[in-house]
Amino acid sequence: MTRRKTQKGFSLLELMVAMMIIAVIATLGFKKFQTFTAQAHYLKSKDTIKTVREGLDQYYLKHGKYPDFGSFEAMVDASSPLVKENMIPVGLPSTDGFAQPFEGKCSKSGYELSSLGDPNDQEAHPAFTERPGAISDTGGNQGPAGAPGTPMSAPAAAKPGK
């Protein structure tokens, strides 16, 4: 009678199969994490633009005109009239969630604020632009960013009875 040796560990094949399963699960989890991170950066960018837009609209309601700004950085700077008059908080970033600079300009008659969106996935997180009077559920109109020939104008007046 021959004695059979009892196995005291895992074979190399069993270890390789287990490691492949772990690698597949980790890859799927990491891709989902990247998707949620990109969505969070995009929503943060929309929120920053919305905050500045609301500050500019408040300034317009108070003064009857918009301030003159040549860039988005000037709008969020600590010496900006928007910050000094507490219409936007101090320390708003001048770059979006994807580390790209926000684009913006403002004249006495209107403004245009835009973000370039996700450079790695323009389909899921496209560029967006905010202008006076643009009301939407997503926080911005879905027109092309920086569309040429679009006039800047004051906020649309509310219609009576609404």
The pLDDT tens digits for 72-131 are 999 999 999 999 999 999 999 999 999 999 999 999 989 999 999 999 999 999 999 999
pLDDT of residue 150: 43
For residue 38, the tally of other CB atoms under 10 A from its CB is 18
Domain boundaries 24-130, corresponding CATH code = 3.30.700
For residue 51, the tally of other CB atoms under 10 A from its CB is 16
CA distances from 102 to 65, 110, 156, 159 (A): 22, 17, 24, 32
* Contact status, residue 83 vs residue 77, Cβ threshold 8 Å: yes
User: Can you point out the beta strands (E) in the chain?
Assistant: 103-107, 110-115, 128-130
Domain positions in the chain: 24-130
Q: Does the predicted TM-score (pTM) go above 0.75?
A: no
Maximum distance among all Cα pairs of the chain, rounded to whole angstroms: 103
Residue from 121, 124, 104 nearest 112 by CA: 104
Residue 68: pLDDT band with limits 50, 70, 90: very high
> Rounded mean pLDDT of 16-30?
95
Rounded percentage of the chain residues whose pLDDT exceeds 90: 71
Q: How far is CA 58 from the centre of its chain?
A: 22
